[in-house]
Structure 1
Amino acid sequence: MTKPISPALAPAGSAPDPARASTPRTTAAGPKMDGISWAMLLTLSLLWGGSFFFTEVALRDLPPFTLVLARVALASVILWLVIAVRRIALPTSRPIWISFMVMGLLNNLLPFSLIVWSQTYIASGLAAILNATTPLFTLMIAHIATDNEKLSSRKVIGVVTGFIGVLIVTGIPAFDGLGQAKDIIGNEDLSLATIAPFAVLIAAISYGCAAIFGRRFKNTPPLVTAAGQTTASSLMLVPIVCLVDAPWTLPVPGLPTWLAVAGIASISTALAYLLYFKLLGRAGASNLALVTFLIPISAILLGFCFLGESLGTNDIAGMLAIGLGLAIIDGRPLSWLRKTLLSPKSATGA
């Protein structure tokens, strides 16, 4: 595999690398988001937001862990086929393949399993709120573990504002989901219901760690990184699925389920993770984690456009709050507004 030439090793007078020239600039607080990065983030939120449609259909015939395994296993097959067609060279060092295992654990196996398990005890709305803490944890982890993604007051204010937006969209009553679950499952599983929210928080921390850990793949083609991660998580999921779901005893799924699995594997996993690793290398872990705020919006808008679902006042208010939080983090809209309002023409009323 050919590695990109670093600026220090580039021959004098050579033409600039177009890919490198299009990379957003980096400041002491971390990589800056440019228009392309924001477009990639929005697209990624749509790909992951669409997974709710596929999951709702597939869960009618498949248990959760079997669905997760089908999702990542089929995605890995698709990615390896693309790699073979494009004849992309594969890394040969053992450490990078071990890193794929760690990435599969942090980004797939651990968070997927914890969130699926927790939703058997708590409402999905509460799980969505707790999962939206991912950017908060990522900011803290990046501040400790990196040299170029440090905390700033603007980032903190923006992330907190975006999190408030998620609370509004999801609905504060979602916090009643834990109490409702306790009433349903009875006292014998009360302790498990109590720790279920913490399982989602651990999943959010795992996503944050994965975003930081994934920075080491910047010299590896995103296709290879995505394929390595999904393959590793598939191998680790096989014994879990055999022990928990015993899929060989399940009835054969219908055509809608097969189509849903194909959709969630190809669109919401294979394509999404290809974009994920490209955006991670371009914009950094802290900015990548912001996709968690946009996923609820994407799911709501997709439901409005394709399923005829209505938009409530809380949906619109939450979207505006999330948009404000992202604008604060980006900085450019507020900077433009400040310059416009404080310009001499504005001050004189010209």
Structure 2
Amino acid sequence: MSTVAISAPTYMSFRDWTMLVLLGLLWGGSFFFARVAVLEIDPLVLVLLRVSIAAAALHIYLSVRGPSFATALPMAGAFFGLAMLNNVIPFSLMFFGQTELGAGLASVLNATTPFWTVILANAFTADEKLTGRKLAGIGLGIAGTAVMIGPGLFAGLGGPVWAKFALVGTAMSYGCAAIFARRFRALPAPIVATGQLTASTVVMVPVVLLTGGLGMLADTSPQAWASVVALALLSTAIAYILYFSLIASAGATNASLVTLIVPVFAILLGALFLAERLALFELAGMALIGSGLVVIDGRLLRRRTD
């Protein structure tokens, strides 16, 4: 990964924070969709379905609204690198890990993404350097995620070690992808999202054909198919447009903060649509995550010290 000398803003704008929250909502739902789908669909097949349906939807979008996808062709090789780091590797590791781990522990391990991102950004970029404020805020966010999961976290701690390492690998791969994606800042976000997902589809087709996991699709329930479509359109196609827009405007480290708020929305969606009651420890965890984001943003603390 090469050093990119494009300066990132000191503070995130209101638009950036809005995109971050909306992205957290979309990816918060992905844990529910994936958990339902992976019970009936092989993890590698689920990866292929997720990226291929999302890629097809984005190509239709570009053909209607533009810009032309031809602008992505000169960077085709780089898109395959981004596809491996941001889709193929993390999706596969996540779905395999979720066959053994609950969504709670998976959320906590996935929430370590900003930690890996800030370490990598410090090493490979000129404008996103490690600061005590960032580390403190990320630490608060990860701690808040663990508190928010509460007893559900301890219930999932007994899973196999390989599944936990799979989720840590997911977070590390996302961190690498956030830094790698900086090189696409000159391209519109829909082009970057389409290029990445198209390359991911090309990679996953032979993988799935060789593993022979397509046979079980004939018996897949309508509920699982609905989860696949939601996962592809909402949590992938639309979400990645937001994600690449956020990287371009706020930087890799700030974009990775979305993994801290994903568990918040996962729990809130459960309370809203599944009639699950919010416990005190969940609210306390959300408060810690909010405090971590305030520390990372820095503006409120700066006003208090001025």
2:251 maps to which residue? 284
Q: Figure out how many residues of one structure are paired with residues of the other and give that number.
A: 301
Shift of 1:311: 0.4
Cα distance in 2 for partners of 1:93, 1:40 equals 24
Gaps in structure 1 of 5+ consecutive residues:
1-24, 182-192, 340-350
Q: Which amino acid is 2:175 matched to? A: G
Cα distance in 1 for partners of 2:105, 2:264 equals 16
Q: How does 1:238-317 map to 2 (within 5 A)?
A: 238-317=205-284
1:141 maps to which residue? 120
2:135 maps to which residue? 156
Q: How does 1:1-350 map to 2 (within 5 A)?
A: 31-91=10-70, 96-171=75-150, 174-175=153-154, 177-179=156-158, 181=159, 193-338=160-305
Moved more, 129-138 or 72-81: 129-138
Cα distance in 2 for partners of 1:109, 1:200 equals 14
Q: Alpha carbons of 1:331 and 1:314: their partners in 2 closer, same or farther (altered >3 Å)?
A: same
Q: 1:82-126 CA deviation, whole Å, 9 max, x = no partner?
A: 111124223467651111101110001101111222233444433
Moved more, 215-224 or 194-203: 194-203
Task: Give the structure with the larger helix fraction.
Answer: 2
Cα distance in 2 for partners of 1:170, 1:245 equals 36
2:3 maps to which residue? none
Asked if 2 retains the 8 angstrom alpha-carbon contact of 1:142 and 1:286, the reply is yes
Q: Which amino acid is 1:203 matched to? A: T
Cα distance in 2 for partners of 1:315, 1:47 equals 20
Q: Alpha carbons of 1:296 and 1:282: their partners in 2 closer, same or farther (altered >3 Å)?
A: same
Cα distance in 2 for partners of 1:107, 1:285 equals 13
Q: TM-score, normalised by structure 2?
A: 0.91
Cα distance in 1 for partners of 2:220, 2:161 equals 34
Cα distance in 1 for partners of 2:236, 2:220 equals 21
Q: Alpha carbons of 1:150 and 1:206: their partners in 2 closer, same or farther (altered >3 Å)?
A: same
SS state of the match for residue 218, structure 2?
A: coil
Cα distance in 2 for partners of 1:268, 1:145 equals 29
- What is the Cα-based RMSD across aligned positions, in Å? 2.2
Cα distance in 2 for partners of 1:73, 1:218 equals 23
Q: TM-score, normalised by structure 1?
A: 0.80
Moved more, 223-232 or 242-251: 242-251
Gaps in structure 2 of 5+ consecutive residues:
1-5
Q: Whose Rg is larger?
A: 1
